[in-house]
Every structure is written in structure tokens, then in C-alpha cells.
Amino acid sequence: MIVINRHKCGHCGACVGVCPENAIDLVDAWVEVSDKCIECGICVKVCPVGALEIQHEG
Amino acid sequence: MKDEYDVLVVGAGPGGSIAAKTAAEHGLDVLLIEKRAEIGNPVRCAEGVGKESIKPFIESDPSWISAEVKGARIYSPDGTAIEMSEDIAGPEVGYVLERKIFDRALALQAARAGAEVMVKTRATGLIIENGFVRGIRGEHFGDDFTVRANIVIGADGVESKVGRWAGINTTLKLSDIETCAEFLMADIDFDQDYCDFYVGNEIAPGGYAWIFPKGKHEANVGVGVLGSRVGSTKAIHFLKKFVDKSCSDGHILEIIVGGVPVSGPLERTITNGLMLVGDAARMTDPITGGGIVNAMITGQIAGEVAAKAISKGDTSTKVLSEYETRWKSAIEDSLDKSLHAKEVLTKMPDEQLNMLAHSIKDVNFGELTATSLLTEITRRNPKMLWELRHLL
Ligand SMILES: Cc1cc2nc3c(=O)[nH]c(=O)nc-3n(C[C@H](O)[C@H](O)[C@H](O)COP(=O)(O)OP(=O)(O)OC[C@H]3O[C@@H](n4cnc5c(N)ncnc54)[C@H](O)[C@@H]3O)c2cc1C
């Protein structure tokens, strides 16, 4: 699961631009991830502030 | 909002506002929507732009000019400076903008030309019928709506969805995006007459750091790093390191983050009933990351072609292909050159970057463009830049 730290996020949309599954939306001042997410981690890499993280369940 | 328009523009950045203005000036019924509550805010830009290049789009106004600069200086890793100014003793050639005000001024131009402008209005999907884009689905202040349009112009920036909804793959690879962080800083001591760029694999792998004067001893201080070259050290960390070294006594007044497409333009920028402009079509220069002017150029062409298509009653790609022909003849050549140079330069070790800088440090550049810089370094370093020989 991709977890977004809303306190860190600068809502710039870079993660949206790189998502190969079109699973991320920059709605207003927040980012939403849909269940299309395949946890590839590309968004985690591009984030300028490190607001995204893959959290493995269990 | 009406139920139907000739043209619907998604995104009120420079590309969308110029597209909407142009279409409205041609007598079309235009709706320009922006999802943010405030056009131009938050800023995602270092705000540097050539003075001449924005002249065709808006009459200059002190309210959106933060500073005027005489030129640019590029510092190699060992500190060698390459100075680019058209005439050092001459007039200022560049502006550092106040984008919050500039973007609003552009949207206001569109509104005054007759376009309807709506903020806090987000496109959430396209209406597609018989292979033609026929409008959008959206959300305004929490309420869903649909609105029809003969042509949709996607000007929705780096996070563009409009192209994807129409089946155009706009996904950026990590090697095709600069991840950026910037502070607006006050009370720092530097030369207010220049935009300064710092390259090097320590400072900004695959990108550069910058200090652009904003007047009153303020500056945009930022770093962009190629997405494929960042690890756990994020753009913000590179920025903090750069600030510690270069201007640690300044005060931070604002933090700005963002992504810049450096992929070169999309191969396909149209479908039936749809055109993509600006960052949505990846029109930023892959070397400089500058995209304001190309957004306006492509926005204007799209507005003009929309008017033609609607007067002909044909919004198919057959008619819209004029958009592609025209933007290509306007900017494809320089974007291509920058893209090739990016592929070579972003892989260079610091020693080679230093050698390139030494080879051109005394050159007088007639023209303040990425192309003129690239041509000169290629000419003087034929062996090292064999792959770039076609730039000459
Ligand atoms: C850190 C940084 C520094 C930069 N420095 C410079 C520079 O010095 N000089 C330069 O020329 N360029 C610079 N750029 C690039 C420049 O900012 C962009 O190229 C330019 O803003 C592109 O204009 P645009 O109109 O295409 O898109 P944008 O200005 O990004 O506008 C797109 C708009 O669309 C809206 N939108 C998105 N999705 C939707 C939707 N679904 N519904 C409604 N609205 C939507 C967004 O909210 C946004 O307002 C920089 C970029 C960054 C990130």
C-alpha cells in the first residue's frame, strides 16, 4: 500500500505524472491513490520531499 | 456554466489561459476551468523567462515582474563561470516573474476576451462518443457535472490526466522528470543582475541548482534532480545542502516543490476533438526545464487551430493535425537539440563538465539560449561530444 504523509506532501503532482497505472490523483491540496496501484514505487522515488512510502501489509 | 461550449480548456496555467484567450478572440464560446481555488498558487516555478519571448502574449506590467536580469551564469563543479549575456553593458534581457500574479493576469486576459473562467472546478473524465472527445465530466465545489464541448484543450500541466483519458500515454519515466525543491529566500547576498545555475553530480545529479533574483535581496533558490538519479536523498535534501553552502544566512519565506517533464514533447498531441498544450504535452525544454513560453506558444496555436476546426465544422485529427505541424515548426528543433544534449550531459562525470566549462569560459555568446550554448560546447569539444555533432 502507498501511504502519503499529508504533512510532508507539497501537492505538486510529480507523483501523478510518473504513475504508470494512472492510479494517483491530485485532488486539491491532497493526493489520492486508487486501488489500481501496483506498488511499483516510482512515485516514492520522484517525490521531492519524501512524502510517499510503500508500506507492506502484515 | 452552460451545458455546451465550442472549446473547453482544462487548466489555467500559462498554456490554458493563452489557449482560452486566443479561442475567445476568434469569437468562440470558451470555458476555462481550474481545479485550484486560486489561479497561480501554489507556485511551481523558478520564474525565469526571456523578456522578448513573452512579449507576443501579454503587455508587460510591473505587477508581475519581480526582477530584471542582464543574463545567466553557469557554474561548473569546480566553480568555473560561463557568462551568457547579450551585451553585458546593455539592457536587461530576462525577467524573473511573480507567477502568482502573472498567471492571474493571463487568466484575466482570457476572461476579458470573453472566455468564462471557473476556479475550484476539476475535470474528472472525458465524454468520448464515436471516437471523438465531446466534453468533460467534472466536479465543482463538491458537485459533479458534465459539460459538452466540440473541442477540449488539455492544459493540465505535469500531472496531466486529459491525455491519458483520451488514450495518449503521457506517463513520464523517472529519467524524464526533474524532481525539484525551491525556497524563496530573503536577505541573501548575491549578484542581482544574473540568473545563476550550478551544475555537478554532487550538487544536483542530472539537473542543476539555481539562484534567480527576485529583487529586494530576495531570490528563488532551488535544486532539480533527475528522477532516475535520486535515491533516498530527495530534492529537498539536495536543496538544504546547497543552501547550507551558498546562502545559509538567508531567511526562508516560502517552499516550492514540483516536477518538470524533460522527456521532450509527446509523439501524439491530438486526438479527435482534443489537443494537449504546454507541460501536459511535455513541451518543456529538456535542458533548461523552462516551459512557460512553450506553454504559451502551443496554447496560442491550439486556440487558433480550434477556431479553424470549429468554423469548418470538423474537429477530427485531419484538421487538428495543423496544430502539430505548427508547434513542430515553432519549437521542435530546439526541443530535439536539448533532448539529445540532456541524454549526454546528465551522464557526464564532474571532470568532463569542468572540461566543457573551461573550453567555453571566454566565449561571448550572442544569444542567450540553450541552443547557442550547446552549439558552442559541441563545436569546441568534438571528440567528447561526438554524439552531439548533429547540433552543429
Ligand atoms: C521547480 C520548478 C521550476 C521551474 N522553473 C521554470 C523557469 O524558471 N522558467 C520556465 O519557463 N519554466 C519553469 N518551470 C516550468 C513551468 O513552471 C511550466 O513549464 C509551466 O508552468 C507550464 O505551464 P502549463 O500552462 O503547461 O501548466 P501549469 O502551469 O502547470 O498549469 C496547469 C494547471 O492545470 C490545473 N489542472 C491540472 N489538472 C486539472 C484538472 N483535472 N482540472 C482542472 N484543472 C487542472 C493545475 O492546477 C494547474 O493550475 C519550472 C517548473 C518547476 C516545477
B282 lines ligand 1 (CB under 6 A): no
Which pLDDT belongs to residue B90?
62
* Dihedral pair phi/psi, residue B48, rounded to 5°: -85, 140
* Dihedral pair phi/psi, residue B308, rounded to 5°: -65, -45
Residues 6+ apart with CB under 8 A from B226: B174, B175, B177, B178, B179, B205, B206, B207, B262, B346
Among the partner-chain residues B37, B157, B170, the one whose CB lies closest to the CB of A13 is B157
Q: Which portions of chain A are predicted below pLDDT 70?
A: 58
Under an 8 A CB cutoff, do B158 and A17 touch? yes
Residue B95: inside a domain: no
Q: Which portions of chain B are predicted below pLDDT 70?
A: 86-91
Which pLDDT belongs to residue B85?
83
Question: Within 13 Å of residue A41, how many CA atoms lie on the same side as its CB?
Answer: 8
- Any CB–CB contact under 8 A between A48 and chain B? yes
Residue B241 to residues B57, B228, B236: CA-CA distances in angstroms?
38, 20, 9
Which pLDDT belongs to residue B89?
58
Which pLDDT belongs to residue B275?
98
Residue B254: inside a domain: no
- Rounded to 5°, the CA angle B264-B351-B381 comes to 65
Cα(B288) to centroid of ligand 1, in Å? 15
Q: For residues B2 and B134, what is the distance between their CA atoms, to the nearest angstrom? A: 14
> B321-371: per-residue pLDDT in tens?
999 999 999 999 999 999 999 999 999 999 999 999 999 988 888 777 888
Which pLDDT belongs to residue B121?
98
> B201-221: per-residue pLDDT in tens?
999 999 999 999 999 899 999
- Any CB–CB contact under 8 A between A20 and chain B? yes
Which pLDDT belongs to residue B33?
98
CATH of the domain at B307: 3.50.50.60
Residue B32: inside a domain: yes
CA B304 from chain centre, in angstroms, equals: 21
B302 lines ligand 1 (CB under 6 A): no
Residue B37: inside a domain: yes
How many Cβ atoms are within 10 Å of A44's Cβ, its own excluded? 17
Residues 6+ apart with CB under 8 A from B159: A13, A14, A16, A17, A26
Count of structural domains within chain B: 1
Which pLDDT belongs to residue B88?
57
Sheet holding B194-198, edge to edge: B81-85, B71-75, B194-198, B208-215, B218-226, B177-186, B251-261
* Dihedral pair phi/psi, residue B112, rounded to 5°: -70, -25
Question: If you search the block for the grid coordinates 482544462, which residue do you land on?
Answer: B10
Residue B363: inside a domain: no
Which pLDDT belongs to residue B299?
98
Residue B69: inside a domain: no
Q: For residues B54 and B79, what is the distance between their CA atoms, to the nearest angstrom? A: 32
List the domains of chain A with CATH numbers.
Answer: 2-54 (3.30.70.20)
B47 lines ligand 1 (CB under 6 A): yes
| Structural domain harbouring B290 | 4-44+100-172+263-332
Measure CA of the first residue to CA of the last residue in chain B; give whole Å.
52
Which pLDDT belongs to residue B387?
80
Residue B322: inside a domain: yes
CB B274 within 8 A of CB B262: no
B258 lines ligand 1 (CB under 6 A): yes
Residue B6 to residues B123, B330, B362: CA-CA distances in angstroms?
17, 26, 54
pTM over 0.95: yes
- Any CB–CB contact under 8 A between B169 and chain A? no
Residue B359: inside a domain: no
